[in-house]
Amino acid sequence: MANIDLTRDYKPLDDDLAARRYFAKFDRITRLMVGVADEMEAEGSLSGLDSDVLEGYVRAISAAFKALSLKYLVSGRLDGVGQKHLTIDLHESGFPIFQELVTMANDAAQAARHLEGLPESARLKDEMIRQIVGERVVPTRLQFALSQRLYYQALAKGGVFYPQMHPQAQWLADLGEGRRRFLVHWAVYDSQLNVPVVYLMEVEDSGRKALPLDERRWPEAQAHLLAQSVGGLKLITIAKGFDTDFDDLHPKRLRRLHLGPMYSSAFTLQTGPIREVLDEAKSPVGEDWALAWAIEELESDRVELEKSGWFSSVEREVFRLDPFSGRGADTGATRMTRSLILPQRPFQVLAEKDPEGFRDVRKFVVGREGRVMVYG
């Protein structure tokens, strides 16, 4: 790359302690996400099923972070070869870069083989003690081996967030006349924003065979949805495309949740009011962050019949768009809700300053004992 550096936003966490703090922070944040999902369920903006699905993904994210923290636990202390650090995107993301997740997915595919080759943890610990007592040195290599073993074990156990979480369908209701309603949900790690994104789509299926059992349509639909899970595409484009390509699947409601970015005065670079808020809060370690959540939602307004070929016709959805869309940016969605999860201290500064851009943002405030409350 002669003149442009495309990875300018990337930053390896080469300070061991900083990396641990980073993981500790995310461990806390991901646990809080579950609380936020519960809170949303309680106030009715998410259904019970939605919040269960969301919790599943949040748990997977948390497992991925745990695995990554094991992977990089000791590797920063190795001399020379093998020294590796977690790379995060520090601008408008705060999450590890896409490549870390892909590498982890590649590792997961080979976890079993790695585990075969690595010695048992009991043996490693035994050797460690021997090295500590006998040679009186820090057994860095052995610690590294053990951390890698634990990493692969965590991957082998499964349930971690991959760059692509393939679509799953949950039955919602039988609508009669051979129609069924499903909740199709999937998630991707957006490679451009470096943020996990969850998609929830309610779809009516008028096919002869139920969608998840249809070996012809289901894999095709899965591939289509994953290929279209691009952050740059508006919901209306995704839904329209899906509606066009699958005649007997009718997307009724499509939601997209961006579970990020994470802002932290210690780790990330940010611009605008959030920077001042975090700077002025001067929060103690572990409380200097804010996590943004955006939910885009697109609903079907009505159905029109469109001729397909000479004798048949297919239903085509017409989606309801934001009535105010002409005014601001064209969102391509029916509505958009932005939320911010942040600890008490930065929230107080935010409430005092009351910057304009944050007035219509819902704030989920985390109390000292981990309780989540909603403001705004």
Partner 1 sequence: MADFDAQVRKSQEQVAEAQAKISELTSRIETARSKLKTGDDIEIDIENATLDDVHAHAEVMNANIAELIMGLDDVTAGFSKDFDEMRSKTGWESFVGIFAQGKSESMRQERLRGASIDDKLQDLIGKSDVIVKLLEGQLAILNQHKAKVESNLTETLTDRETTVGELEGLRASILAMDPKLIELENKISVEQDAAARTKLESELAELNKQYNAMVQDEQVKLAKSQTLERYIEKGKTWVDSLQNQAATQMVLINKLQTDTKQRVVLYDALTKSLKTAQQQDVAHRINEIGVQTDKEAQSAMAGIGAATNQRMAEMMEAHEEHMVFARKVLEQKAKADERFARRFQAIVEKHDKNLYGG
Cis peptide before 139 (omega within 30 of 0): no
Q: CA 276, 282, 283: angle at the middle one, nearest 5?
A: 120
Q: Is residue 226 within the footprint of partner 1 (CB under 8 A)? A: yes
Closer to partner 1 by CB, 106 or 312: give it: 106
CB of 19 to partner 1, least distance (A): 18
What are the φ and ψ backbone dihedral angles of 323, each rounded to 5 degrees?
A: -60, -25
CB of 106 to partner 1, least distance (A): 5
What mask of x and - would describe binding to partner 1 in positions 42 to 71, judged by CB under 8 A?
------------------------------
Closer to partner 1 by CB, 121 or 237: give it: 237
User: What one-character-per-residue DSSP string does 194-216 give?
Assistant: TEEEEEEEEEEE-SSS-GGG-TT
Closer to partner 1 by CB, 59 or 85: give it: 85
Closer to partner 1 by CB, 148 or 283: give it: 148
Structure tokens at 324: 């105010």
Q: Quick one: which segment of 124-132, 223-231, 267-275, 288-296 binds partner 1 (CB under 8 A)? A: 223-231
Residue 51 backbone zone (phi > 0: left; psi -120 to 50: alpha; other: beta): alpha
What mask of x and - would describe binding to partner 1 in positions 6 to 25, judged by CB under 8 A?
xx--x---------------
Closer to partner 1 by CB, 139 or 163: give it: 163
What are the φ and ψ backbone dihedral angles of 260, each rounded to 5 degrees?
A: 165, -175
Closer to partner 1 by CB, 115 or 226: give it: 226
Closer to partner 1 by CB, 125 or 162: give it: 162
Q: Is residue 5 within the footprint of partner 1 (CB under 8 A)? A: yes
Structure tokens at 186: 């999937």
Q: Quick one: which segment of 21-29, 119-127, 240-248, 361-369 binds partner 1 (CB under 8 A)? A: 240-248
What mask of x and - would describe binding to partner 1 in positions 80 to 109, judged by CB under 8 A?
xxx----x---------xxx--xx-xx---
Q: Is residue 241 within the footprint of partner 1 (CB under 8 A)? A: yes
- Which residue matches tokens 């997915």? 105
Angle between helices 273-281 and 344-353 (to 10 degrees): 130
| Integer Cα distance of 332 and 125 in angstroms | 56
Q: Which of residues 139-198 bind partner 1 (CB under 8 A)?
A: 163-164, 191-192
Cβ atoms 199, 229 nearer than 8 A:
yes
| Integer Cα distance of 363 and 338 in angstroms | 9
What are the φ and ψ backbone dihedral angles of 21, each rounded to 5 degrees?
A: -65, -40
Q: Is residue 231 within the footprint of partner 1 (CB under 8 A)? A: yes
Q: Quick one: which segment of 36-44, 121-129, 239-247, 345-353 binds partner 1 (CB under 8 A)? A: 239-247
Q: Is residue 227 within the footprint of partner 1 (CB under 8 A)? A: yes
Q: Quick one: which segment of 58-66, 225-233, 277-285, 358-366 binds partner 1 (CB under 8 A)? A: 225-233
CB of 224 to partner 1, least distance (A): 6
Structure tokens at 160: 């971690």
Mark 41-80 as b/e (b = at least 16 C-beta within 10 Å).
beeeebeeebbebbebbbbbbbbbbbbbbbbbbbbbeeee
Q: Is residue 2 within the footprint of partner 1 (CB under 8 A)? A: yes
Q: Is residue 4 within the footprint of partner 1 (CB under 8 A)? A: yes
Q: Quick one: which segment of 60-68, 79-87, 127-135, 208-216 binds partner 1 (CB under 8 A)? A: 79-87
Q: Is residue 237 within the footprint of partner 1 (CB under 8 A)? A: yes
β-bridge partners, 189 = 196
Mark 319-357 as b/e (b = at least 16 C-beta within 10 Å).
bbbbeeeeeeeebbbbebbebbbbbebbbebbeeeeeee
Judged by the rule CB under 8 A, the positions of this chain that interact with partner 1 are 1-7, 10, 80-82, 87, 97-99, 102-103, 105-106, 163-164, 191-192, 223-224, 226-228, 230-234, 237, 241, 244-245
